[in-house]
Amino acid sequence: MKVNVDTLTLTATPIPRTLQFSLVGARDLSVIQTPPPNRYPIQTEVHTFSDEIITDAINFEMSRNGQVFFVNNRISNLSELKAMIERNIPDCRVCIGHGQMEPAELEKIIFDFVNYDYDVLLATTIIESGIDIPNANTIIINNAQQFGLSDLHQLRGRVGRSNRKAFCYLLSPPLTSLTQEARRRLQAIENFSELGSGIHIAMQDLDIRGAGNMLGAEQSGFIADLGYETYQKILEEAVDELKSEEFADLYADNTEGHRDTGSEYVRETYIESDLELMFPPTYIPNDSERISLYRELDNMEEERDILAFTERLKDRFGKIPKEGKELIRIVRLRRMAKKLGMEKVVLKKGQMSLFLVNNPDSPYYQSEAFGKLLGFIQKHPRECNLREQNGKRSIVIKNVPTVEAACGYLQEMEKINSTDF
Is the pLDDT confidence value at 235 over 80?
A: no
In degrees to the nearest 10, what's the CA dihedral of 70, 71, 73, 77? -10
Rounded percentage of the chain residues whose pLDDT exceeds 90: 44
Predicted pLDDT at 27: 72
Mean pLDDT calculated for residue range 274-296: 89
For residue 257, pLDDT over 60 is answered with: no
Q: Give the Cα separation of 307 and 329 in Å (integer).
A: 11
Question: Could you tell me which residue, 96 or 302, shows the higher pLDDT?
Answer: 96
Q: What per-residue confidence (pLDDT) applies to 230?
A: 65
pLDDT digit string, tens, across residues 203-224: 887 777 776 665 555 555 555 5
- Residue that wins the pLDDT comparison between 232 and 315: 315
Domain ranges across the chain: 43-195, 262-420
Among the residue ranges 142-151, 160-169, 357-366, 405-414, the one predicted with the least confidence is 357-366
> What is the mean predicted confidence (pLDDT) over 372-394?
86
- Residue 14 — very low, low, confident or very high, per pLDDT cuts 50/70/90? confident
Q: What CATH superfamily classification does 262-420 receive?
A: Transcription-repair-coupling factor, D7 domain (3.90.1150.50)
State mean pLDDT over 150-167: 90
Q: How confident is the model at residue 345 (pLDDT cuts 50, 70, 90)?
A: very high
- Give the start-end residues of each E strand in 49-150: 67-71, 94-97, 120-123, 136-141
Q: Is the pLDDT of residue 24 over 80?
A: no
10 Å CB burial of residue 230 (0-12, 13-18, 19+) is exposed
pLDDT attached to residue 369: 86
Mean per-residue pLDDT over the chain, rounded: 85
Is the Cβ–Cβ distance between 297 and 267 less than 8 Å? no
If you write DSSP's letter for every residue of 239-303 in order, what string do you get? HHHHHHTTTTTTTHHHHTT----GGGT-S--EEEE-S--S--TTTS--HHHHHHHHHHHHT--SH
Domain 43-195, architecture per CATH: 3-Layer(aba) Sandwich (3.40)
- What lies within 8 Å, CB to CB, of 93 at 6+ separation is 117, 118, 119, 120
For 280-290, the pLDDT digits (tens) are: 999 998 888 88
- pLDDT, residue 282, reads 92
* Lowest pLDDT segment from 29-38, 108-117, 241-250: 241-250
User: What pLDDT, on a 0 to 100 scale, did the predictor assign at position 251?
Assistant: 63
